[in-house]
Amino acid sequence: MKQSKTFKGCFSLSKNNKLSRAIFLVTLHCLLFSLKAISQVAGNIHDTKVHIKLEKKGVSDMVDASVILYSEFLDLDAAFPKPDKIDLHLTKGSFLTADPGMMSGSLEINPQEKYSYIDIFFGGTKIIDHYLIEQGDSIWIHLEEEVYFLGPQGYKFELQQQLDRALKKSRIRTNPLIMISDASSFLDTEDKKIVHQQLLDSYRPGWNRKVDIADTDQKIAERIEALLSNSLDHNEIRAILDRYSGGISGELYNILLMETVAKSILPALDLLISQGNHRSPYFTNLQVADLISGLVKLDSHETFYPDPYRKALMLSVYWQSLAESTPLAEIMETFSNELEDLLWAKLMIKYRAKFSPSFFQTQIPNIQSQKIRTQLLGLLVENHQSLDLATFESTDGEEVAFKDHSGKFLFVDFWISGCGSCLKFKKEMMPHLLALAKEGHPIEVLAVSADKKQEVWVKTIDSETFRGEGLTNLYAGEQHPFLEAHLIRSFPTQMLISPDGRILKSGTMPHDPSSMREYLLDELKKPTQNSQHRTNSNQNN
């Protein structure tokens, strides 16, 4: 059954505009010609009928154009669930043109005055908000892209039509994932996920490497096929990869990499990994663990991978496959400077049990990327693993870790020399904190300095204020990973840690003795996770 649906475009200019009705009509006919060209390419619209009406409405000339789409097989209500409308609000002196020579179709906005502001709406959504353009500037709005505002159902239908035709011909004009990537920027996150997953579920079983190529050249597709059969020499492989440097999708890149590993095509693997260095995020987002079974068979990796980055990749795969038997810390200490930051961070999280707390402390600064280092530290805090970072230096020069004090509550005071509030807290509160420990409560008190210079810390703690029976003085320094992980940037900052390693409070504690004592005694009475577990075990027995 033949269906129809109307799309309306409203183009308004101020009353002072000099453009005549004839120019408006020509412009709109050009626009509709472009829309029709698109519809023919998409293959899902058979005919277009045009209705044009010019109205005078006081302060402006209004031109309303309706494009009526007919289809015998397309469910228009499902494909276009909402009436879509293009509104271009142009200020005085601006004009609208359409270029019929562009097969994709486009609208050009060019201001006639020195400055002009435009708002552009599509499908009821403002896509450009009060954008300032100067005289001589042009803004091109590609109608081919605007089609994607039709929503996930319409977009999915259009892609399916193209994919169906491509699969029947055993070739495809554009890689499906590239189509999704290019167009889905116009969809919101949820719509993008829906469309992407639907297409993957529908077409992955039918794809083959000849179809899955981001090019129209059948010969290139056949040469890629030959590459995977290990029948091309090094120069031909390089030529093919260079040919696809701008168009190959992440999905296809992963397929090629996996195939070359599985078939031990070393020159191709070398080129793919080299190209991967410049193809972020495709290369760094690979599931490296999936390459283990193939890469561990390549005995020549020491000579084949002279480049530090690729050597680090190979070593990382070995670490993952041999994690139970390899001295991981020793390997990482040897090659940590050669590792890509993201991979290094993932390995630290995955194999943290194999590293000593001091190893975390000394190696995390090697991560050059501030963003990745912050994410790693945040993940450690989120998973209650940040105590692995809590290793500090004692007055005797020994390493002291918070974990060395497990079994008791830890009250930690972070401070710096020259801080008046820090000194006041030490004088007024520290004696009362130490009294709790003397009374037999399960708590230890630690004072951790974040002074930039260690000699300043040593001089400061020599005073009576920083001494006391039961007080442990430790030195962290200005850029300690534990302080960075918990965003400890102002002083004094207090922290209360439970016997089972949970950070109960971090920030500013009560600064009067009675309130502090009441708060701590209340926390000390609460059962910890470990003690609760023991209680439950005893009840079960």
Tokens 């139970």 belong to residue: 324
- Could you tell me the CATH superfamily of domain 393-532? Glutaredoxin (3.40.30.10)
- The mean per-residue pLDDT over the stretch 518-525 comes to 90
Domain boundaries, the chain: 3-147, 287-389, 393-532
Reported as a pLDDT band with limits 50, 70 and 90, residue 23 is very low
* End-to-end Cα spacing for the chain: 74
State phi, psi for 472 to the nearest 5 degrees.
-110, 120
Whole-model pTM?
Answer: 0.39
pLDDT tens profile 404-424:
877 889 999 999 998 888 888
- The mean per-residue pLDDT over the stretch 313-332 comes to 44
pLDDT at 511: 79
Residue 470: burial class (beta carbons within 10 Å; 0-12, 13-18, 19+) = middle
Check residues 74 and 295 and name the one with the higher pLDDT: 295
Name which of 384, 303, 377, 320 is nearest 354 in CA terms. Answer: 320
Residue 88 contacts residue 109 (beta carbons within 8 Å): yes
Check residues 304 and 349 and name the one with the higher pLDDT: 349
- The mean per-residue pLDDT over the stretch 154-163 comes to 45
Lowest mean pLDDT among 55-59, 93-97, 387-391, 527-531: 55-59
Reported as a pLDDT band with limits 50, 70 and 90, residue 476 is very high
Give the Cα separation of 88 and 83 in Å (integer). Answer: 16
pLDDT at 72: 36
Would you tell me how many other CB atoms lie within 10 Å of the CB of residue 471? 19
Q: Which two tokens stand for residue 24?
A: 């408006």
Write out the H or E segment, with its range, that includes residue 410: strand 409-415
Give the Cα separation of 424 and 15 in Å (integer). Answer: 73
Would you tell me how many other CB atoms lie within 10 Å of the CB of residue 450? 22
pLDDT tens profile 335-372:
444 445 655 665 666 555 555 555 666 667 777 767 66
- The mean per-residue pLDDT over the stretch 375-391 comes to 70
Q: 223 Cβ partners below 8 Å, 6+ apart?
A: 232, 236, 240
Which ranges constitute the DSSP H helices of 43-91?
76-79
Residue 318 in this model has a pLDDT that exceeds 70: no
